C-alpha cells in the first residue's frame, strides 16, 4: 500500500493526494469534551447549546450559559469553537415553552427574543476568551440572519454601556432548510455555513425524525441531499463551509462529501478514528487512493 497509516492525533488531515481536510467534533453534552485530547480535533464544529438550557430557568440564566461556553473555549485552546444558538422545538422540546407552538430554532428565538437576548449576552461575553463562532439553527431566509444580528448589536451596546468586556464574533448559519440551501448565494449576511444533513433529509423527503421508519427515508434521501449540498457549496461564494450532520460521521459517505467539495467535517467524538481513516484513504475528488 502506498498510503501511510492515518495520523492518530490530529484534526488537520490530508487526503492521499494532499488536500487539507479539517476534522472537528460535535458536542452534545457539557462534560463530553473533558476526556478528549484537543489535539485530536481541529476544534468544535457544532455545540448543540440546547444542553446548556434544559429548563425555562436555564434560558434566563446568563451566568450558567456563560460559564459553559467559556469552559468549551478554554478546552479548545485557541481552536475554533462553533456554538449554535438554541435549537429548541421539533425533536428538541423544552418543557413550558414548546407545547403551544410548532416553532423551532431561529423562529422560536425571534418569537421569544428575551430568550435569544440572554444567550446573545452570554455568547458575546464568552467570545473574549477564545476563537468563538456563533451559528444559527433552522435559518430559512436572509431576514432571519438580519433579525438576529440586530439583537447582537443591541445587546453589545447594552454590555458596552455597562462596561462589560465582550466582542461580536462571526455569525454563520446551519444549512438545513432546503429553501436556504437552494438560495445560499442570497445569504450575504452570514459569515460561514454548516450543512445539517439530518434536517435537510427530513425536510427533503417530507418525513419526520421522530417517525419510526425515518432511517429508511433518510437512507433513500441520500442522493437528493448530496445533489442539494453540491449545488449549495457552489453558491457559498468562498465563505467557510463545513458539514456537521450525521452524514459526515458515516465513513461510507466521505467519498461523496469530498467529491462535492467539502473539506471540513464535524462528527461525534466516537466517530473521529473511523472518519480520519476514511479521509486519508481517499483523494480530494473522492476517488479511492491507489493501493487502498
Query: Which cell numbers hold the place of 122?
Result: 452570554
Sign of CA dihedral 152, 153, 158, 164: positive
Radius of gyration for the chain, computed over Cα atoms and rounded to the nearest angstrom: 19
Residue with Cβ nearer Mg ion (98 or 156): 98
In the bound complex, what is the minimum distance in angstroms from residue 195's beta carbon to ligand PEP? 7
**∠ CA(31), CA(33), CA(39), 5° rounding?**
165
In the bound complex, what is the minimum distance in angstroms from residue 1's beta carbon to Mg ion? 38
Residue 245 near which of ligand PEP, Mg ion, none (CB within 5-8 Å, type-dependent): ligand PEP
- Contact string (CB under 5 A) for Mg ion, positions 184-203, x = contact: ------------x--x----
Binding site for ligand PEP (CB under 6 A): 46, 48, 87, 176, 196-199, 244-245
Please tell me the distance from the alpha carbon of residue 276 to that of residue 23, in angstroms, as a whole number: 8
Q: Which residues pair with 242 in a beta bridge?
A: 194
In the bound complex, what is the minimum distance in angstroms from residue 216's beta carbon to Mg ion? 19
Binding of Mg ion at residue 45 (CB under 5 A)?
no
On whether the CB atoms of residues 119 and 81 are closer than 8 A, the answer is no
Residue with Cβ nearer ligand PEP (128 or 141): 141
Residue with Cβ nearer Mg ion (73 or 247): 247
Binding of Mg ion at residue 169 (CB under 5 A)?
no
Could you count the other beta carbons within 10 Å of the beta carbon of residue 226? 17
Query: What letter would DSSP give residue 207?
Result: -
**∠ CA(37), CA(251), CA(11), 5° rounding?**
25
In the bound complex, what is the minimum distance in angstroms from residue 48's beta carbon to ligand PEP? 5
Residue with Cβ nearer ligand PEP (48 or 239): 48
Residue with Cβ nearer ligand PEP (116 or 280): 116
Residue 48 near which of ligand PEP, Mg ion, none (CB within 5-8 Å, type-dependent): ligand PEP
In the bound complex, what is the minimum distance in angstroms from residue 199's beta carbon to Mg ion? 4
Query: What letter would DSSP give residue 289?
Result: P
Closest C-alpha among 156, 154, 180 to residue 168:
156
If you count DSSP H runs as helices and E runs as strands, how many of each does the chain have, helices first?
A: 10, 9
Query: Which cell numbers hold the place of 64?
Result: 450558567
In the bound complex, what is the minimum distance in angstroms from residue 198's beta carbon to Mg ion? 5
Residue with Cβ nearer ligand PEP (58 or 155): 58
Residue with Cβ nearer Mg ion (169 or 196): 196
In the bound complex, what is the minimum distance in angstroms from residue 138's beta carbon to ligand PEP? 8
Please tell me the distance from the alpha carbon of residue 279 to that of residue 167, in angstroms, as a whole number: 35
Q: Where on the chain is the footprint of Mg ion (CB under 5 A)?
A: 176, 196, 199
Amino acid at each position: 500500500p502506498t498510503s501511510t497509516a492515518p495520523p492518530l492525533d490530529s484534526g488537520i488531515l490530508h487526503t492521499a493526494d494532499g488536500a487539507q481536510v479539517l476534522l472537528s467534533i460535535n458536542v452534545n453534552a457539557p462534560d463530553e469534551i473533558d476526556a478528549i485530547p484537543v489535539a485530536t480535533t481541529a476544534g468544535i464544529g457544532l455545540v448543540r447549546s440546547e444542553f446548556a438550557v434544559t429548563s425555562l430557568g436555564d434560558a434566563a440564566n446568563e451566568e450558567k450559559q456563560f460559564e459553559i461556553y467559556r469552559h468549551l473555549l478554554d478546552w479548545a485552546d485557541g481552536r475554533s469553537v462553533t456554538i449554535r444558538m438554541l435549537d429548541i422545538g421539533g425533536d428538541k422540546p423544552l418543557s413550558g415553552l414548546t407545547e403551544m407552538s410548532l416553532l423551532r430554532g431561529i423562529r422560536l428565538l425571534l418569537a421569544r427574543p428575551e430568550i435569544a437576548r440572554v444567550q446573545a449576552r452570554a455568547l458575546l461575553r464568552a467570545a473574549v476568551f477564545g476563537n468563538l463562532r456563533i451559528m444559527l439553527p433552522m435559518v430559512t431566509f436572509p431576514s432571519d440572519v438580519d433579525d438576529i444580528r440586530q439583537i447582537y448589536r443591541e445587546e453589545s451596546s447594552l454590555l458596552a454601556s455597562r462596561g462589560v468586556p465582550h466582542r461580536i464574533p462571526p455569525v454563520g448559519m446551519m444549512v438545513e432548510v432546503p429553501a436556504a440551501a437552494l438560495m445560499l448565494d442570497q445569504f450575504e449576511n452570514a459569515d460561514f455555513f454548516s450543512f445539517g444533513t439530518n434536517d435537510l433529509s427530513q425536510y427533503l423527503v417530507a418525513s419526520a425524525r421522530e417517525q419510526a421508519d425515518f432511517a429508511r427515508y433518510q437512507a433513500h434521501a441520500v442522493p437528493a441531499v448530496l445533489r442539494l449540498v453540491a449545488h449549495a457549496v457552489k453558491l457559498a461564494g468562498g465563505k467557510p463551509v463545513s458539514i456537521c450532520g450525521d452524514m459526515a460521521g458515516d465513513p461510507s459517505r466521505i467519498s461523496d462529501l469530498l467529491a462535492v467539495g467539502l473539506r471540513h467535517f464535524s462528527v461525534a467524538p466516537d466517530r473521529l478514528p473511523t472518519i480520519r481513516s476514511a479521509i486519508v484513504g481517499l483523494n480530494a475528488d473522492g476517488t479511492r487512493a491507489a493501493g487502498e
